[in-house]
């Protein structure tokens, strides 16, 4: 993992325990959970795999048995109204991909798949960049 891909509030795994990042430096992170706070090397932390349970904890709504969606957000760019939705899709119970859907674009709608997004902290960062919403939970 690279430090520039981590932000305060990201959920990660360290030695099979779940933590939230509370501080990021060049090669270290401060991580916290309900019982401890640790300073560890970034190289020693792992991403949390995306699951339906994690998406629900982060405020995603189930849209059908195959997917979850973070509530659409309306934004304006050059006086044009856009609704942006972040959707996560599953094949059976196996995570498949994250898709960002832009509704109400001048040409109708468009979608972009983010196949490289595999971890909870990546979903947190994507939603923050696109929707301006920090997805944090108390561990």
Determine the pLDDT at residue 138: 74
Q: Look over the chain and give the mean of its residue pLDDT values, rounded to a whole number.
A: 87
Compute the distance between CA of residue 68 and CA of residue 111 in angstroms, rounded to an integer.
15
Compute the distance between CA of residue 129 and CA of residue 57 in angstroms, rounded to an integer.
19
Residues 58 and 134: beta-carbon distance below 8 Å:
no
Full-model pTM:
0.86
Q: What are 54-110's pLDDT values in tens digits? A: 999 999 999 988 899 887 666 666 666 667 788 899 988 889 988 888 776 556 667
93 HSE (CA, 13 A, CB side) = 4
């Amino acid at each position: 993992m690279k430090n520039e891909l981590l932000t305060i509030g990201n959920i990660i795994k360290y030695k099979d325990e779940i933590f939230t990042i509370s501080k990021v430096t060049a090669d270290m992170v401060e991580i916290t959970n309900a019982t401890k706070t640790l300073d560890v090397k970034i190289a020693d932390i792992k991403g949390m795999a995306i699951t339906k349970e994690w998406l629900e904890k982060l405020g995603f709504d189930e849209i059908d048995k195959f997917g979850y969606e973070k509530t659409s957000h309306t934004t304006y760019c050059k006086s044009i109204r856009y609704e942006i939705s972040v959707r996560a899709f599953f094949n059976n119970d196996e995570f498949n991909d994250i898709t960002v859907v832009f509704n109400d674009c001048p040409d109708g709608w468009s979608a972009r798949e983010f196949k490289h997004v595999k971890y909870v902290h990546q979903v947190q960062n994507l939603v923050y960049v696109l929707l301006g919403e920090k997805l944090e939970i108390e561990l």
